[in-house]
Amino acid sequence: MYIKGKLRNKAIKLREQGLTYNEILSHVCVSKSTLSLWLRDVGLAKKQKQRLTEKKLAAIKKGGEARHRERIKRTKEIKTTAKKEIKEISDRELWLIGIALYWAEGTKEKYGRATMIEFSNTDSKMINIYLYWLRYSLRLDITKDVVFTIYIHETKRFEIEKVKKFWSDITNLPISEFNRVFYKKHKPKTNRKNIGDNYYGTLKVIVRKSTDLNRKIAGWIEGMVKSLN
């Protein structure tokens, strides 16, 4: 009983210093249920409560960081495995990819109104795949058959040369191809995520004299739908 009482007193003193149950158990060899019974009536000063709160927050942060690292690692592993599954893309696969891409993001003819091929996006990777499709599937000369227009908020007006260079570097085309710029009115309150330093606007890719080709793409899309029905 003397030893047990001594352990109990030691546990109480450690608790009053603001130690957690796990910290106390490293000094006092008893079960956690016994420790809980001993300390249930032990009050803590404000300073000790603050220490425990800080330790809990630190533990939560540490756990969150560990989960974040694990999530990044797992994501990288999944992407690496998925990337290897693609293999080499055939000419027909590229053709179908481009049709689906245009179906999702391109301008379609409505009410029989003549409409040229127009494709707009902020995603530089998508723009590059689309240009690759125009060049190798539709056999277009990008510098002769295509016109580019940048749509961007007026807040970027004084950084427009940087924006032009971005699209020039992305597409590997001369910066002179990106002189057509349309400034959109800025809205201070917006739900857009693409704002700040990494915002380069939307690039519209227009194919000259392409009304009939647009209708042909519409036919390809209908053919894809029919083939799956």
The pLDDT, as a whole number, for residue 19 is: 74
pLDDT at site 36: 73
The pLDDT value given to residue 47: 58
Question: How many Å apart are CA 133 and CA 97, to the nearest integer?
Answer: 8
The pLDDT mean for the chain works out to 85
- Predicted confidence (pLDDT) per residue in 56-114, tens digit: 767 777 777 788 888 889 999 999 999 999 989 999 999 999 999 999 999 998 877 88
Quick one: pLDDT band at residue 194, thresholds 50, 70, 90?
Answer: low
**pLDDT winner (highest mean) among 20-34, 92-106, 175-189:** 92-106
Phi-psi label, residue 153: left if phi above 0, alpha if psi -120 to 50, beta otherwise = beta
pLDDT tens digits for 138-175? 999 999 999 999 999 999 999 999 999 999 999 999 99
